[in-house]
Structure 1
Amino acid sequence: MSQPSSWPLPSGSSRVVLPLKLTQQLAQHPLTKHLYPRAYGHYVDALGHQVERQSHTDYLLIFCYRGRGWFRTATTQGSLEAGQLLLLPAGQAHAYSADLQQPWSIYWAHFQGQAASTCMSFLGLTETQPVLTLSQWRTLIPVVTHLLNLQTQRHQFTAAVVAASLLQQIIAELPRLTVTVKEPQGFELAALERFMYDNYHRDLSLADFAEFAGLSRFHFSKKFKQLTGTSPMRYFNQIRVKIACQLLDSSTDSIRHIGQQLGFDDPYYFSRLFKKTMGMSPQHYRDSASLRAVQQLPKGV
């Protein structure tokens, strides 16, 4: 395969390269042989990211969501701006780089499969016009996040099958995201809430939610409070506490471990937030839930 660049990863970035044995399994399995990832990742503010390949065995998808960069092939060259996707076919020599002044932030994937060669025509791209502009790309963020979160299980075949299905879903959705629509006056609360649920395990900030909504932090906070009556961060933390309650009810994990699953590295902060939201500590909640369960048992059991 064409190896991903060895460019040093900055904070917040990730790179997953599936082992050869695993990709060989994907190439043969009925659920994945048509299209499957060989490597994928997320580069944030990728200053210094630059690649040149004379031989190229994989198909390569690069989506720029912030900043900009440039690319060059034997048949064309150009820039890649925020909101644009570049698809390079297998067998085509190429070079690309992040801009020095406004380095791109990108999602990318090397992929193969029996149907990989049809992706260019499916997306309406050619070797001389390999760039697609996506006007509604934010709706794919939950799927992309799910794919990236699989990296901790990347050596497991079942997780790799899920990764292949998510990549197929992303590519299948792309044509619908090119439709030009009038800029919304606000944002879709349901999509933002789904993003919060999909990322409950991450320590997200107001800037992350504002970026997802496509608004400045000020306008996002104002619009969010108008719609919900509360602040974005309080809403997000309420979701995490709700999930914490479910975990306290259904598992025997320690309170520290549950807090870590929800993105809280400080167990004391997690306990304070839980108590502020629920009116009792996590341990008190667990004890009272156990007591209620015992009281509800049929007599004689």
Structure 2
Amino acid sequence: MSQPSSWPLPPGSSRVVLPLQLTRQLSRHPLTKHLYPLAYGHYVDAQGHQVERQQHTDYLLIFCHRGSGWYRTETASGNLRAGQLLLLPAGQAHAYAAHNEQPWSIYWAHFQGSAAAACLEFLELTNQQPVLTLARWRQLVPVVTDLLNLQTQRHQFAAAVVAASLLQRIIAELPRLTATMQAPQGFDLPALERFMYNNSHRDLSLDDFADFAGLSRFHFSKKFKQFTGTSPMRYFNQIRVKIACQLLDASTDSIRQISQQLGFDDPYYFSRLFKKTMGISPQYYRESSATKSTQ
């Protein structure tokens, strides 16, 4: 397979490379041989991220959800902006990089399989036009989160089969997310996200978000789930857990201190929520992160 970049991972980023023995099993198993991941990850604010390959043996999907970057292939070139997906086919030399001023944050996956070539046609992409714009990409965030969380489950074949099924679902969902969907009147998701990040230290309720949006609890919850595919409180808690991961990586604060910084009065509730979201406890996450940094 094409080697994923060795770009140094900052807090909040992740990279999973499946062992060769495991990918060989996936390539032979009836449930996975048509489409399976070789490596995948999430790069956050990827300053300095740049790759150039003359030899490329697998398919590569890059989705930009913040910032921007550029790409170049033998037949196409251009910028990749937030909300856009780039699919690079096997066998095609390419280069890509994050822009310097507003570097991209990307989800990415290297994949193979007997059906991998069919992804271009399924997504109505070509070598000359390899970019897809997703108007409703946030609906896929829970599935992508589930895929990234599998990295905590060692390299077991059963987990790899689940990873393959999640990747297949992500690709299968893409066409229906390209259709433009106008945000409901009075519903400004970027402003809501900023409000959530700016108040991640507070124990906010559904009423707080509904008041911010100027809607009733019922209408706000309905419109939020319609536009994002998840509930407002789950969305907010995912943001807080993401920030907790960054604090666990970058600080020596205790789990109790971190939970208090994020507005949780009960550290045990925080730990349960963290494990439900990430699949492991905060303590195990910190220990695993420390182990990786010394390898």
TM-score of the superposition, structure 2-length normalised? 0.69
Q: Runs of 5+ in structure 2 lacking a partner?
A: 201-207, 221-231, 238-247, 249-253, 270-295
Q: Which residue of 2 aligns with 1:47?
A: 47
Q: Which residue of 1 aligns with 2:59?
A: 59
* AA partner of residue 163 (structure 1): A
Q: Which residue of 2 aligns with 1:15?
A: 15
Quick check: 2:68–2:80 contact (8 Å CA) kept in 1?
A: yes
Residue 213 of structure 2 is aligned to residue 223 of structure 1: yes
Q: Give % identity.
A: 66
Deviation at 1:275, TM superposition (A): 10
Q: Which residue of 2 aligns with 1:124?
A: 124
Q: Which residue of 2 aligns with 1:265?
A: 255
Q: Which residue of 2 aligns with 1:25?
A: 25
Cα displacement string for residues 202-246 of structure 1 (whole angstroms, at most 9, x for unaligned residues) = xxx922999xxxxxxx9876128842799xxxx849x98xxxxxx
Change (3 A) 1:128 1:227: same
Q: How does 1:1-301 map to 2 (within 5 A)?
A: 1-185=1-185, 206-207=196-197, 222-223=212-213, 226-227=216-217, 236=233, 265-266=255-256, 272-273=265-266
Q: Runs of 5+ in structure 1 lacking a partner?
A: 193-204, 211-217, 241-259, 277-301
Corresponding residue pairs, total: 229
Q: What is the SS of the residue equivalent to 1:266?
A: helix
* AA partner of residue 58 (structure 1): D
Q: Which residue of 1 aligns with 2:242?
A: none
Q: What is the SS of the residue equivalent to 2:255?
A: coil
- RMSD over aligned Cα atoms: 3.5
Cα displacement string for residues 112-141 of structure 1 (whole angstroms, at most 9, x for unaligned residues) = 001001000000000000000000000000
Change (3 A) 1:90 1:184: same
Deviation at 1:183, TM superposition (A): 2.4
Write the distance in 2 (CA, Å) between the matches of 1:221 and 1:25: 52
Q: What is the SS of the residue equivalent to 1:149?
A: helix
Deviation at 1:28, TM superposition (A): 0.5
Write the distance in 2 (CA, Å) between the matches of 1:209 and 1:113: 44
Higher relative contact order (CA 8 A, sep 6+): 2
Cα displacement string for residues 264-288 of structure 1 (whole angstroms, at most 9, x for unaligned residues) = 9218959943899xxxxxxxxxxxx
* AA partner of residue 18 (structure 1): L
Quick check: 2:61–2:108 contact (8 Å CA) kept in 1?
A: yes
Change (3 A) 1:184 1:19: same
Change (3 A) 1:271 1:188: closer
Quick check: 1:16–1:154 contact (8 Å CA) kept in 2?
A: no
Q: What is the SS of the residue equivalent to 1:116?
A: coil
Deviation at 1:182, TM superposition (A): 1.6
Write the distance in 1 (CA, Å) between the matches of 2:169 and 2:184: 25
Q: Which residue of 1 aligns with 2:273?
A: none
Cα displacement string for residues 52-83 of structure 1 (whole angstroms, at most 9, x for unaligned residues) = 00000010000000000000001110000100
Q: What is the SS of the residue equivalent to 1:129?
A: coil
